[in-house]
Amino acid sequence: MKKVFEIALGILAAIGGFVDIGDIVFNTAAGALFQYQLLWAVVIGVGAIVTYSEMCGRVAVVSQRAAFDAVRERLGFGVGLLALVAGQLVNLLTLAAEIGGIALALQLVAGLPFRVLLVIAVLALGLAIWAMPFEWIERVFGYIGLALLVFAVGAIKLHPDWGGVASGFVPHADTGDLAVYLFFVVGLLGAATVPYEVYFYSSGAIEERWTPKDLGINKANAIIGYSLGGLLSFALMITAAELFYPREISPETLGSVALGANVPLGELGLLLGLIGILFAVSGAAIDTAFAGAYNLAQFFGWEWGKYRTAVEAPRFTLAWMVMLVLGFVIVVTGVDPIQVTEYSVIFSVVALPATYVPILLVANDRAYMGNYANGRIANVFGIFYLAVILVVAVAAIPLMIISNMGQG
Amino acid sequence: MSGPVDLALGILDHQLLDSEGRRCGNVDDLELQGVREGAPRVETILVGPPVWRGRGAIGRLAAAVARGRSVRVPWSEVEKVDSGVRLKQPAEAYGLGRGDARARKLVAWIPGAER
Amino acid sequence: MRSFAGCSGFCASVSSIVFAALVLFAVACGGSSALTAKSLQQQRDAITSAAAEGALLAEQVADDETTEPFARIHSGELADQAKAAAQTLTKARAPAALEAKRREAAADARSTFVALEELHRAPDDQAVARRVEAELEQLAK
């Protein structure tokens, strides 16, 4: 019974923790531009992250090696270092976008000046990471992030055309601008599979001292948790499809997203929506800062982990602090966080194969994994999604240019 | 230490762990003996930025940019090889973990750093 | 202070700043100011979008279904969008065939901006909101 409770708690945290600023931006924009037509892209993205999260969680538990350990071990020093630098650039951009998103959400709640809120956001994040144990961080931000469910309630209340919604799960493009459509396919996939998620998830398995006994929890978290988290993405897209598409509104700011909770559900909907966004994006920011610190530490062999004290893992500690400061510096220059989000997601997609290939290789290595190596199902899904990711990674930058960043 | 181990996949670039299970660097390179005789065995583990010079063009670039000493750990100091390469003594005995020792001073003054 | 062996880690972070700066530069660069039919249509779409979204927001204010900070901040964001369109259209050089349309669009952009600014300055005034809503709905057509 206790085990079921534990699994349920983990799933709740995974649902609330699934959505980040990239998902929010791309799902809302996709719904406003293409109504329900891109729901299928979210499904593929969720499938990919479920498959690879389960895989790298399993690898971490069985081998006690996190995802970036695998990158250096499998790809060697040179290629591994390139993967590290590319990964860190992407992580930094993503973190900047998230910090900006936090400040935007705070501004919509409290109305204070943006730059002041940026400082508050970074200090609050730093304090949360410093003071809270790892499990608490995940749970607090994951559970309160569940407030995003208000978008699901709102979407239903807006009486969508359920037939249209259903047809959105079948890939089809009923549009004049194919380049923009494909750009959003890339963006939605990229937003669902951002690299920091797998790095964080695999290091998190070691942080939480999972043993092979906990592999069931790992599977449940990944499969059920992230799939249900995908529902939140659907909700954002359907809300935008109902509210913005018919009025030809192009959502440009986080305020537009929040309007999607305000219109169907009034003031309470607005506040829950903003709180959900605030905590989901804050959780994502912490995960991203950690992912950056994990990657550095794992590549260079430093001691790492929140389960160590700061004096036991000082370079790791300094690494996440520096990441937060650098993320802040990027956003405080006045660049639009929504635009940074879009660039960070697209560049993440390009870096994705360097993340997923080593995981697939290691998960198949029987010397490493023993009986826990990939079975046929894991490999079928793993190879399928890797193929999808490779295609998308190659197409991302050309599509970004041809579609003019989705503007057409 | 017995049983065949694939050097490239099993030891190189793997985590070094000291006698207390603390992470203290990665295996940046290996010194082999007896290669010409057809019976290669590992003599020394090499750790540290200068060692990266032997790891290709990118390794040389990284070695030029980074600062730090190289450390030699005799293979006889390896207790066993499982998820990492475990050593018989604490990191300080080999001169490993100095980077963390230096960084510790930057962090130790913050309240709560020891929890 | 002597740097620790992981300097390359922090050097990677420094080069990240350089790269990010390049990205910012790309993001900040705007387009040209010669008007084409396509860019005129894009500005038109931006105006309709800001007006329609503003109408939605105004309706929430009119029904007292939203908070003051949210209405103030978001109407300000929408006003900025309309203002940007107005500035682009006013400064742009249009070929003769598009000149009439350019002027019309610029006027609509200015009206949209004025309406949204009104809402921005009185974010909890229901009467103002109702009037602004009607104006913006007209402009969104």
- pLDDT tens for C21-63 read 666 665 555 555 688 899 999 999 999 999 999 999 999 999 9
In the β-sheet with B15-17, what is the strand arrangement from edge to edge?
B23-26, B15-17, B85-87, B78-81
SS3 assignment, position B95:
coil
> Nearest 5°: phi and psi at B46?
-115, 135
What would the mean pLDDT of C4-30 be, rounded to a whole number? 58
B1 lies in a domain?
Answer: no
Distance of residue C53 Cα from the nearest chain A Cα, in angstroms: 6
Matching residue, tokens 């951009």 = A93
Cβ distance of A296 and C9 shorter than 8 Å: yes
C8 lies in a domain?
Answer: no
Distance of residue A82 Cα from the nearest chain C Cα, in angstroms: 10
Residue C5: what pLDDT?
Answer: 40
Range of the domain at C88: 34-139
Distance CA C53, CA C132 (A): 12
Instruction: Please report, for chain C, how many H helices and E strands are present, in that order.
Output: 5, 0
Number of domains in chain C: 1
B58 contact C CB<8A: no
Residue positions counted in chain A: 408
Which residues in chain C have their CB less than 8 angstroms from residue A322's CB?
A: 10, 13
Q: What is the pLDDT of residues A339-366, one digit of tens each?
A: 999 999 999 999 999 889 989 998 998 8
**Residue among A363, A391, A368 at smallest CA distance from A379:** A363
Which residues in chain B have their CB less than 8 angstroms from residue A299's CB?
A: 26
C109 lies in a domain?
Answer: yes
- Residue B6 binned pLDDT confidence (cut-offs 50, 70, 90): low
Mutate to test the interface with C, among B65, B67, B106, B107 (most CBs of C within 10 A): B67
Q: What is the pLDDT of residues A318-327, one digit of tens each?
A: 999 999 999 9
Matching residue, tokens 């899904």 = A381
What residues of chain C, 96 to 135, have a C-beta less than 8 Å from chain A? none
A356 lies in a domain?
Answer: yes
Position A269: which residue type? G
Q: What is the pLDDT of residues A248-265, one digit of tens each?
A: 999 999 999 999 999 999
Matching residue, tokens 């790269």 = C19
C-beta of residue A36 within 8 angstroms of C-beta of residue A168: yes
A185 lies in a domain?
Answer: yes
A173 lies in a domain?
Answer: yes
Range of the domain at B52: 7-107
More confident of the two residues C25 and A10: A10
C10 lies in a domain?
Answer: no
Q: What is the pLDDT of residues A373-389, one digit of tens each?
A: 999 999 999 999 999 99
Range of the domain at A383: 2-94+138-273+343-402
B94 lies in a domain?
Answer: yes
Which residues in chain A have their CB less than 8 angstroms from residue B56's CB?
A: 76-78
C29 lies in a domain?
Answer: no
**Residue among B14, B17, C8 at smallest CA distance from A70:** B14
Cβ distance of B55 and A78 shorter than 8 Å: yes
What residues of chain C, 5 to 44, have a C-beta less than 8 Å from chain B? 5-8, 11
State how far Cα A98 lies from the chain centre: 10
Residue B50: what pLDDT?
Answer: 94
Number of domains in chain B: 1
Strand B85-87 with B15-17, pairing = parallel
Give the chain C residue nearest B24 (alpha carbons).
Answer: C5
Which residues in chain B have their CB less than 8 angstroms from residue C14's CB?
A: none
State how far Cα A81 lies from the chain centre: 23
Q: Which two tokens stand for residue A375?
A: 């079975």
A125 lies in a domain?
Answer: no
Number of domains in chain A: 1
What is the percent of chain A where pLDDT is above 90? 81
A126 lies in a domain?
Answer: no
- Residue B4 binned pLDDT confidence (cut-offs 50, 70, 90): low
Which residues in chain C have their CB less than 8 angstroms from residue B24's CB?
A: none
What is the percent of chain C where pLDDT is above 70? 77
